[in-house]
Amino acid sequence: MLVDQYQRKISYLRLSVTDRCDFRCQYCMSEDIEFMPKQQMLTIEEMTRLSQIFINLGITKIRLTGGEPLVRRGIDDLIGSLGKNKKLKELTLTTNGSQLDKKYSILKKSGIKRINVSLDSLNAKHFKAITRGGDLNQVLSNLELIKNNIQVKLNVVLMKNVNDHEINDLLNYAIERHFNITFIEQMPLGDIGFDRYNSFIDSDKTKELIESNFSLIKIPLSTGGPADYWKIKNTDTAVGFISPHTHNFCEACNRIRVSADGHLHLCLGQENKINLIDPLRASQSDHEVEKVILEAMLVKPKSHDFDLQSKTQIIRFMSHTGG
């Protein structure tokens, strides 16, 4: 079992398989972002090996992220391998939904039962603007394709004067399809040329807006992440709020992240990281790599330091570690 210096048990690994994406979401990355050289990225074989090392250390849930994980060449092999691992209680992923039709077969075959899909607008024009080119109809079609076999949770980054007027539409869309939905406060990751401060909406305000039209009932739902959940009365839909600014969720943190370039990120909101790719490529044994990971737990920080008003932000983009 991985235990950090604050006696928090770490059981959840978010593995970014690529920093590349077929969208360029305004709140996530700059339009002219430079991606990491491919030779600096972990191979699929290295990701498979590293995942097994983490599983041996007590990781029971792995979420594949990006960028967009489903654009990574060889992702079918990684999903297939992890899906067969009997020690892993849950394998899931976060996706923008654009590639789900192409990967639906491997997702079902691997036993993935639940995924998160980013959906920030139901207006095709607004969606294209937010994602800088995304096709809303393709995403919605893909959601219809998978909804009967894979449980979907929608992720919405709400932004003032951008998509906050769509709250009711997004909620009704989720209710009609029995999806859960989570609203996420913006996080200051990377210099993206977007005004996060003036477009920021906190979770309390979002909840207040929702409650003007829907009745919410607090529920003890937990999916292993930081969201706080409420049930919409007389529906099957739960509404979650991820609130890194207004309701710090670090006290019960059970997560670590590995970026596509093979670095262990101990906190989304801190810059400290541990190099794992060099030990992997130096032909060190699994035991030696395990030792590096175990030592890293001693420096996992207590909490993040997100501050939308500060000029000092986390340098890396959201797409680098997958949120």
pLDDT over 70, % of the chain: 85
d(CA 84, CA 180): 27
CA angle 145, 151, 156 (to 5 degrees): 90
Q: Is 285 left (phi over 0), alpha (psi -120 to 50) or beta?
A: beta
Residue 241: closest CA among 183, 166, 181: 183
Mean predicted confidence (pLDDT) in 113-124: 97
- Identify the band that residue 34 occupies on the pLDDT scale cut at 50, 70 and 90: confident
pTM of this structure = 0.89
Residue 215 has which token pair? 């009745």
Q: What share of the chain is helix, strand, coil (3-state, %, to 5)?
A: 35, 20, 45
Sequence spans of domains, the chain: 2-321
76 forms bridges with which residues in the sheet? none
Whether the CB-CB separation of 41 and 261 falls below 8 Å is answered with yes
Amino acid of residue 290: E
d(CA 152, CA 149): 9
Residues 262-278 pLDDT 10s: 999 988 667 778 999 99
Handedness of CA 259, 261, 263, 268 (dihedral sign): negative
- Look at residue 311 in the predicted model and tell me its pLDDT: 47
Residue 50: closest CA among 17, 98, 6, 93: 17
Mean predicted confidence (pLDDT) in 38-45: 94
Residue 1 has which token pair? 């079992």
Treating both helix axes as pointing N-terminal to C-terminal, what angle do 75-83 and 44-56 enclose, rounded to 10 degrees?
Answer: 20
Residue 320 pLDDT more than 60? no
Which positions ≥6 away from 107 have C-beta within 8 Å? Answer: 79, 100, 115, 146, 150
Q: Is CATH 3.40.50.300 the right assignment for the domain spanning 2-321? A: no
- Look at residue 312 in the predicted model and tell me its pLDDT: 42
d(CA 88, CA 251): 24
Look up tokens 């807006």; give the residue. Answer: 209
Mean predicted confidence (pLDDT) in 248-275: 83
